[in-house]
Amino acid sequence: MLFGNAMLFTNATLVTMNPTRDIVTDGAIAVEGPRIVQVGKSKDLRGSYPEEQTIDLGGKLVIPGLVDTHVHLAQAMLRGSADELTLIPWLCERIWVLQGNYTEADGYASARLCIAEMLKSGTTTFLEAMLAHRYGFDGIAQAVEESGIRACLGGIVMDVGTYATQTAAMHPGMIESRESLRGVVAMHDKWHGRADGRIHVWFGPRTPGGVTPELYREMSAIARERNMGITMHLAEVEADRTFLQSEYGLSPVRYAERVGLLGPRSVLVHMIWLDDGDVALLAQTGTHVSYNPSSNAKLGSGVCDVQRLLDRGVNVALGCDGAPANNDYDLIREMKFGSLVQKAVSRNATVLPAETMLEMATLGGARALGLEREIGSLEVGKRADFAVVDLHRAHTVPAFRPVSTLVYAATGGDVDTVVVDGRIVVSGGVLRSMNEAEILAEANARAAQVYRRAGLSGAMTRSAWPVL
């Protein structure tokens, strides 16, 4: 018998991601409060819980909630703002200029837009990379609390307004002092553990060139003292490696080790320009990597050698990055591209199969965030975070191999129901925890205002083809 806020979800195919990777046909999940209390066959659980609220999932696929390990909430409103640009002009000419004109209200509106998209496409947990002070940390944390999603919020740490080999390139509206470190500590004191434990506060320092070694070391010491996570872009473009070799005579990962950035509470993002010594050091220190294939491909940055990392024992998770670098926050789409690009560059059709991609998007993400005991699989005692995907559609039928169909044929638009902490936040494809129409209207209006303030109104509607 279930008590209190209890539900029984029946008649589904469950991809459990448990240690033996069981797939349960005609499966059911019993949920009490925020946790899973039983997983099994529908006939067995119906008999055990005859009086509980029952939701028949109509034969759909249930997967653990997806975990996006690299997100820029503030960039959701900048979708399509910097297409066909490489990273440094992308940042210096568009993204920093636009973000440098944000208000806190803009930050809140963009966060809600991003969260709405993630929830509707099956992402139940995410790691935000760099929340600048101007975006309004309080408002963004409130958006997380209101929406029902689970979040690790990386507050920005910086003290230099440059990027790698570029000098005087950052928009003044994006430059912060070393006091940014104290600001993140204050937000940790205020928000960490809030929203019934769904909010975690991390450090999100800028890439080397934007932070002095002394500030990195100070931040790393505080992170160890407080058991805080650290996430940072590293080795994304060749300029990152060139800068660190020129300035310090070190590779990206060796530099990160020198300033205290490696370890099991660190998630390093992109990680394309690595040598074998870098990979060995990541494995030795238990440092996690977030693989962002669409962003890296779109910006022409290169391709992370994921198989090499996995072969050496490095935990690799998956991330979408931001809307201007990917154009969506759909982790189901990301699984497909993440697999295919590795097959293409290696000319090996066997690398990163569908099962590995789903592991990266669930358990790999949970491990990276230090939450593997709470999320990442459908197991008794874990948080009731899961997504229900409708594979009975023209582009997904037949689905004899559901994991393969999910990764190679489905999209986030096929998600029907999403549950976080035992709360239904999406049902019938409709967002239930927030007003989607209001979110979209506000994001459109505020994005137009940001473009105008940045002096980039022309870029907002510029088309390569004539618009009549």
pLDDT tens digit string along 352-377? 999 999 999 999 999 999 999 999 99
Tokens found for residue 130: 């760099």
In tens, the pLDDT along 153-163 reads: 999 999 998 77
pLDDT of residue 167: 57
Rounded to an integer, what distance in angstroms lies between the CA atom of residue 284 and that of residue 278? 10
**427 pLDDT higher than 60:** yes
| Average pLDDT along the chain | 95
pLDDT of residue 183: 98
Q: Which residue has the tokens 């925890």?
A: 433
**115 pLDDT higher than 80:** yes
Q: Can you tell me the mean pLDDT for 48-55?
A: 90
Rounded to an integer, what distance in angstroms lies between the CA atom of residue 199 and that of residue 150? 6
Q: Can you tell me the mean pLDDT for 56-75?
A: 98
**3 pLDDT higher than 70:** no
In tens, the pLDDT along 88-100 reads: 888 889 999 999 9
The domains of the chain, with CATH numbers, are 6-64+384-430 (2.30.40.10), 66-368 (3.20.20.140)
In tens, the pLDDT along 313-357 reads: 999 999 999 999 999 999 999 999 999 999 999 999 999 999 999
Q: Exposed, middle or buried, 89 (CB in 10 Å: 0-12/13-18/19+)?
A: middle
pLDDT of residue 170: 86
**1 pLDDT higher than 70:** no
In tens, the pLDDT along 128-179 reads: 999 999 999 999 999 999 999 999 999 999 999 877 666 557 899 999 999 9
Q: Given pLDDT bands bounded at 50, 70 and 90, which one contains residue 2?
A: very low
